[in-house]
Amino acid sequence: MPGRLLLHPQSTSFFWRLINKCYDKNWYTYAKETFSGPLAVLKYLGRYTHRIAISNSRILDVDDNFVTIAVKDYQEQERDKTLILSGIEFVRRFLFHVLPKGFVKIRYYGLLANRNKKTSLEICRKLINSFLYKSRFKELTKLEIICILVGKDITICPACMVGKLKTSISFHAGVAP
């Protein structure tokens, strides 16, 4: 069956030997230069690393049968357009972005991989002569940090733009509610 790794239940020791062998290998990645430059890539990836599939601001209208969303047509110089989808089609597309149970969205590798992070960051700081590192968020609350990063007060109700939203329950990664 192509695309699937099938292992006999008794071959777990082989599997872990294979995994260890992969970790021992020096991997090299090939990254082709982008047409629109590195900032466009960061902007594109940034939408998917910390945010959900679609923001409320892109949902323009919802009725009993259809959802109208704002989209960019990249074939026409990123021109903003609207797309009308049936409710079922909207949910189908949205669910492509929902991760399976147990998965988390952010994965770090290379310099920021947990296995190497402390050592790698120390080396990087030495290379750029940055021995003193101070977080710009050190004295701020989580809410203040989020407001700075997204550029707006996320506690304001998106429907009426007047009321304040309050946290009623928080979930932490890897912990069942």
Residue 66 lies in a domain: yes
Residue with the larger pLDDT of the pair 134 and 15:
15
Q: Residue 84 forms beta bridges with which residues?
A: 68
Burial class (CB in 10 A: 0-12, 13-18, 19+), 22: exposed
As a three-state string, the secondary structure of the chain is CCCCCCCCHHHHHHHHHHHHHHHHCCCCCCCCCCCCCHHHHHHHHHHHHCCCCCCHHHEEEECCCEEEEEEEEHHHCCEEEEEEEEHHHHHHHHHCCCCCCCCCCCCCCHHHCCCCHHHHHHHHHHHCCCCCCCCCCCCCCHHHHHHHHHCCCCCECCCCCCCECCCCCCCCCCCCC
Over residues 2-29, mean pLDDT: 71
Asked whether residue 78 falls in the same domain as residue 100, the answer is yes
- Contact between 98 and 54 (Cβ < 8 Å): no
The count of domains in the chain is: 2
Confidence of residue 115 (pLDDT cuts 50, 70, 90): confident
Residue after which a domain boundary falls, among 60, 79, 107: 107
Backbone φ and ψ for 61, nearest 5 degrees, come out as -155, 145
Q: Which of 89, 107, 125 is the last residue of a domain?
A: 107
- For the chain, give the percent of residues with pLDDT over 70: 70
pLDDT of amino acid 1:
43
Instruction: Kindly state whether residue 137 falls inside one of the protein's structural domains.
Output: yes
| Same-domain status, 64 and 49 | yes
Rounded to whole angstroms, the maximal C-alpha distance in the chain is 61
pLDDT for 176 equals: 47
The answer to whether residue 116 sits within a structural domain is yes
Q: Ranked by mean pLDDT, which of 4-8, 120-124, 166-170 comes out on top?
A: 120-124
Dump pLDDT digits (tens) for 29-80.
Answer: 777 777 777 777 777 666 656 566 788 888 999 999 999 999 888 777 768 8
Same domain, 145 and 83: no
Answer yes or no: is 50 within a domain.
yes
Give mean pLDDT, residues 85-104.
Answer: 81
118-148 pLDDT per residue, tens: 888 788 777 776 655 566 777 888 888 888 8
Higher-scoring residue by pLDDT: 12, 149: 149
Domain coverage including residue 157: 110-162
